[in-house]
Amino acid sequence: MPQIKNLNIDSITHLETPKQFTDRLPLTPAITKTVTSGRKQIEDIVTGKDDRLLLITGPCSIHDTKAGLEYAERLAELAEEVKDSVLVVMRVYFEKPRTTVGWKGLINDPHLDDTFDVATGLTMAREFLLQVLDLGLPTATEWLDPITPQYLADAVCWGAIGARTVESQTHRQLASGLSMPIGFKNGTGGSIQIAVDAMLAAREPHVFLSVEDDGHVSIVKTNGNEAGHIVLRGGTSGPNYDPTAVAKATGTLKSAEFEPHIVIDCSHANSGKDHKRQPIVFRDVLHQRTSGNSDIAGMMLESHLNAGSQKAGSDLSKLEYGVSITDACVDWDTTAALVREARAALSKTAGALA
């Protein structure tokens, strides 16, 4: 008989089961405490119980774990310095959604050479998460592949559903079962309603197919995730961080009977994909917050050791250390200055209200 399935499949490679994988790279008691505490603090901020500012900052994507860890070590010190006013969470992104094609992230292609050594990529990703958490830093990532969380989710404190997947039923179902607060980005066109619809869907129970810890394909029933919130990142219609756009977003959330707590992404379409504009967006949003808009719960920055971005290319020896190979980032000095500026402004506001 003629073959009628897998006609476009080149190969299938088995992986460790999620349990085998996590048993090999387990969480320590101290790391477990960091995850639990980080999730609780983030949830308290995005639900209005904690009036500190949430700041999710880090490289657009992790491609060099040595540079990433150096960034994390600096960030851990800064986070301790500002913790009274700002909860700093490190952006640790391993999966990159592509509009067409391109490098899909550390998990998919850890060697940057199109060998697609996913098993090694998963291991590198988990090892890096454990290193960051061991510094006492909460972690944040975007969930793209629906199986990846089985391997990594226990080491993540905040998750995002991105602009390209926020309308996906698969990702809304996934979010309903994740054990952490989830930020839903507005759609690539700028639609806020798409993100609100995703929040509505994700807070409800769902039933779907997935893989459980022992690797069996299973029917999963979720309870729904109440810790969903919107992330404004702009769109093809333009930025959406100004007071009018923020008011529109809070109004849409209230109409859907959500508490209007918002995180604003200073990068992507809000900065016109120009990393030099991120500080402008950051300061504008900070001014809104210190002027009394408590609906602004947090911000996101794309930040690395050094500014800008670069193409990976075929000669990896030419890569500059600490420079993003995806979206352009602000450098460390700019990041540290902005975070300290936020702390000073927030502390002054809190003192004036006391």
Cα–Cα distance, 304 to 288 (Å, whole number): 26
* Among the listed residues 262, 119, 292, the one whose alpha carbon sits nearest the alpha carbon of residue 186: 262
- The two tokens of residue 248 are 């529109």
pLDDT digit string, tens, across residues 139-183: 999 999 999 999 999 999 999 999 999 999 999 999 999 999 999
pLDDT digit string, tens, across residues 28-83: 999 999 999 999 999 999 999 999 999 999 999 999 999 999 999 999 999 999 99
Cα–Cα distance, 342 to 87 (Å, whole number): 11
pLDDT digit string, tens, across residues 85-113: 999 999 999 998 876 678 899 999 999 99
* pLDDT of amino acid 273: 95
Asked whether residue 349 carries a pLDDT value surpassing 90, the answer given is no
* pLDDT of amino acid 165: 96
* pLDDT of amino acid 98: 72
What mean pLDDT is predicted for residues 17-30? 98
Provide the 8-state DSSP code for 330. Answer: B
* pLDDT of amino acid 97: 81
Confirm or reject CATH 3.30.565.10 for domain 18-44+53-309+323-349, answering yes or no: no
Cα–Cα distance, 171 to 240 (Å, whole number): 23
pLDDT digit string, tens, across residues 303-322: 999 999 999 988 999 999 99
* pLDDT of amino acid 332: 98
pLDDT digit string, tens, across residues 263-297: 999 999 999 999 999 999 999 999 999 999 999 99
- The strand pair at 217-221 and 207-211 is best described as antiparallel
pLDDT digit string, tens, across residues 171-191: 999 999 999 999 999 999 999
Asked whether residue 354 carries a pLDDT value surpassing 70, the answer given is no
Q: Cα torsion at 312, 315, 320, 322 (round to 10°)?
A: 50
- The two tokens of residue 247 are 């008011």
* Among the listed residues 226, 225, 230, 117, the one whose alpha carbon sits nearest the alpha carbon of residue 166: 230
Cα–Cα distance, 231 to 182 (Å, whole number): 10
Residue 147 and residue 193 in contact, taking contact as beta carbons nearer than 8 Å: no
Asked whether residue 353 carries a pLDDT value surpassing 70, the answer given is no
- The two tokens of residue 205 are 């129970």
If you average pLDDT over every residue of the chain, what do you get?
96
Cα–Cα distance, 110 to 153 (Å, whole number): 19
